[in-house]
Amino acid sequence: MRQLEISDLITAVDPHTGRRLPVQRSEVMRQLREADDERAARIVARMPTDEDGVLDPYAVDRLLVLVHTELQRLSEELRIDERLVHVLGPLLAAIRATTGRAGPFRLVDVGCGLGYLVRRLAATGALGEDVELVGVDLDGTLVGEAERLALAEGLDCRFVHGNAFDLPEAATVYVSTGVLHHFRGPALEAFFQAQAASTALAFCHFDIAANRLAPIGAWIFHRARMRHPLGRHDGVVSALRAHDDETLLRAASVPGIRALVYEPRGVSNPFCTTLRPVIGVRPDLEEPLRRSLGRGARRLVGPEHFAVGAR
């Protein structure tokens, strides 16, 4: 059965201009019912529309801010920022050693939402003063709220409404959390190809670790911590849609990039690993990264670990 997340369907944005596009409630419900998800269709049926049946954009925005606020709380509880720093710290150390540059090194968070990750990294300074922190999202409302929160918290970071791969200033490292499962098939490959075609030196994308326990854990956790039905629904569907390690390595193995997974299936404890990253580095960065990771390098594997052929 095809799994669809409500949050992917109730907003539409032109990826080049960032312009908001109208969304017909009936069309969203049709897609969900075709996927045999009547429960999701009922959630959407309660959302307000105008006289033409177009979802009220202001109501959608309020709902998404609410759900992302709850997701921020989950990120805090799962200590996502610390997990990212555990990998990004050695990765940036390898970049510094290899390039010999003093910085700045620009970290771009793709699909930043409310900017929790960027704001948390700015608050802790865990990556160093030579790292510039930028969050990018196609949803202008979420970006605006991220900017408001960063200003209120007095943080040195910035947020951009638009396409992360169309920024005028090149990224050094692209990162994301909980974004990869939104891309399917050719779109997932295009996501990695865009980064390989840029001047970025590396990427580090965290997403749900695909295993049999993930949907059960997601149901329990989201049922306990998420208040809105949309958040509960999409949390479980995210786990069901998560890509396995082989799929990610195959998609990320694009020319000019060495694709790696940290804490893959078979190496990590499935009861403890909720998210794990797929990492891509320019080939000359792999050995410096392994040296920087120290003993942790044993948890870093490439396509050959699964006999996944790099293209």
The pTM for the full model equals: 0.90
- Between 304 and 57, name the one with better pLDDT: 57
Looking at residue 38, what is its pLDDT? 96
Q: Are 110 and 164 a contacting pair, CB within 8 Å? A: yes
- pLDDT digit string (tens) for 177-188? 999 999 999 999
Cα angle: 280, vertex 81, 136; to 5 degrees: 65
Cα angle: 151, vertex 195, 206; to 5 degrees: 65
Residue 185: CB atoms within 10 Å: 9
**Residue 272 binned pLDDT confidence (cut-offs 50, 70, 90):** very low
How far is the C-alpha of 276 from the C-alpha of 299, rounded, in Å? Answer: 11
Judged against a pLDDT cut of 90, whether residue 287 lies above it is answered with yes
- Residue 136's SS3 state is strand
- pLDDT digit string (tens) for 101-133? 887 999 999 999 999 999 999 999 999 999 999
Percent of the chain whose predicted confidence (pLDDT) is above 70:
90
How far is the C-alpha of 211 from the C-alpha of 217, rounded, in Å? Answer: 10
Looking at residue 291, what is its pLDDT? 96
